[in-house]
Structure 1
Amino acid sequence: MTATAIDGAAAVRAMVRPPTFPDREFRLAGGGGDHTDAFREAIDACHAAGGGRVVVPPGDYLTGPIRLRSGVDLHVSAGATVRFRREPAAYLPEVPTRWQGVELMGYSPFVYAYGERDIALTGGGTLDGRADDAHWWAWKPLEPADFALLERLVDEGVPPARRVFGDGYHLPPSFVQPYRCENVLISGVTLINSPFWQVHPVLCRNVTVTGVTARSHGHNNDGCNPESCDGVVIEDCHFDTGDDCVAIKAGRNADGRRLAVPCRNIVISDCTFADGHGGVTIGSEMSGGVEHVYASNLRMDSPNLWTCARFKTNSVRGGFIRDVHVTDVTVGRVRDQVLEIDFAYEEGDAGSFPPGVDGIHLRDWRVASTDAPWRLAGYPRGPIGTVTLTGIVIDAARSPAVARDVTDLRLTRVTVNGERLG
């Protein structure tokens, strides 16, 4: 990493500290049947006592939504599996949430917190969303019409509290979503079979995601999506997903501009990436802007990983991406390209808010196999700014690099197919 990136990452780590909890323990009651009430009662008792740890012992537990409260560490022990009910009605009444960057009242995320501080989901256990082609993922063909209605309500100025998308609608909830929370820890758990985005902190401060395995291959099964957050550390995680592995977000279109809250001060380190659309991704919901991202010591390898570093936006989104550093990356196979910056994602150049993308830095990469080294495409009326590639070695690339409408592409010690390009 350069000195700038090292200093930036160190500053983020200095500001992000995992919460601590009183030495007080509550154990979830066992037994068969539905444990929704048992989770609620244990969490409420822990919170009322001043905080501590709610321990889920080894075993199987069926539940509806779990709501975390301030001062509570929900510890899912190794050997414990928490399985979530499949009936959408179990996730009502609706709660304030975000769906693809737009605020609404929707189905409760499976593990949810709103306006809390000092919360955690920890342990070596498994959370199974039990989504499959007959449950939650089956809504895929119905989502576009409902989301179009939601966006129309935004354009008409309907406030979020009146954008109610519960019974009869088909916008599945995130798996784990702290919303407007401060001091959040998610550590050690394995997430499988998610209905939608897996780890999705929204409008939070001071978030640590460590030692998490996100393994789910359904529609929109992104691994970890911090959205409009300030201070996030993602480390020692494994991603094997049906969509982007890590995707940094900041709201979508008019609703994202209404809130205008950037996602900033993000560290991603010592993670592994298998299947996914993108490894380290920013966008496409980035209307509030993304800045100060420091990713390092990453390993990526899968014929089903589309892109290693992926930046996607358009002139409907607007917003900015700046000061992004992705360094010390080892790549086995990647399907499409190592780096993609795409200004024509989804809607293309159909809006009045050309995005600003500048200060994208990749350094010290070793890549075994890819289709193209990079594909960069800005707008003639609003090109991509500075992109630096330093110390990049790509052993085998089947297609040439593409760079269109880029103001300043700098290549230093870049080798592709044995040929030195800069």
Structure 2
Amino acid sequence: MTAKPFQISVSDDVLNDLRTRLARTLFTAASDTTYWAAGTDPGYLRELVTYWADGFDWRAAETALNAYPHHIAEIAGQQVHFVHLRGRGAEGAPPPLPLILTHGWPSSFVEMLRVAELLADPAGHGGDPADAFDVVIPSLPGFLYSELPQGPFTRRGVAETWHTLMTEALGYPRFGAFGGDIGGGVTQWLGSLYPGEVAGVHVTSAVITTDFREQPPTAEEEAYLEALSAYDATDQGYSEIMCTRPDTIAAALADSPAGLVAWIIDKYRDWSDCGGDLETRWDKDTLLTVATLYWATGTIGSSFRQYYNYPQNRPVPTITVPSAVTLSNEPAYANIPRSLTERLCTDLRHWSTPERGGHFMAHEEPEQVANELRAFFRPLRSGS
């Protein structure tokens, strides 16, 4: 099992077709006079689409992405794309600790690139070379250049694929894991399934059990779960359709780049720590780099598979490896009691609530995430 070098290359025909579609976009009127109250604001969308059609330089973005070392590995008949940054450790010191970073939805490997640079080369960014990591950033199955599995998309299944990628394709006998959202679930499963190989797990979306049969929730936990349910009632429209009718919405988004980017940026605004102002966190070039990757690969529909297959996920078993949480400041997690995570993580060594950075924390606050990861994994490098 070997990994082969890979380069991102979008054809001129795809880009020309994209610009033609963007130029012919039919825009809707706002349903509410309050800015963004009913979803992606049509005025902002028009501005973004206009720039995408005649201003955004995809070739410059493509060149920047290809400056990173991309690879493709075939695992159990499934193509897996990943970026692999070798750590620059101290001369004569133990080798860098391998670390796999897993993104969520509607994200991509792009979310992890800046933090990966900081982790792989700490000395180059004012840090200690002893903190260097070998960083692996895979694309989730069905996202961009990674293929869907033959069976259902489950977080456990992805964890099994990542374990094979790390231990067999890349030859790492021991590694750490980090992620948020779907990536957090995958990271949890890695820690639960492979305590012999996984040095520790670090997540930004806290672990929540669904089994309260033996120990009912405390009053504090019950209050949080009720608040989460109330929040979901206002936010979950997007997930309801992707869980039940993914092919219907995918047909629209695969045919309309304006619809595609509207679907994505609605979540970038809602879930990031931007205070309602999207461009305080995301410039247009960043948003359109992600959108162009989804468009060029035709994978917005396959990225929904993990929603459609969600009922086939099972509760994460007890996690015994050292665990850490740097809590996202998005509404779904900002006030979660630590005790909910302690129900599943028997060795919770690090709990941090920086109150900065939302759903895409590694992208929003890369320095913060790098510092948290260094601090958590520092005593775990030698296997203690």
Query: Normalized against structure 2, the TM-score is what?
Result: 0.24
Which structure features the higher share of helix residues? 2
* Structure with greater strand percent: 1
* TM-score, normalised via structure 1 length: 0.23
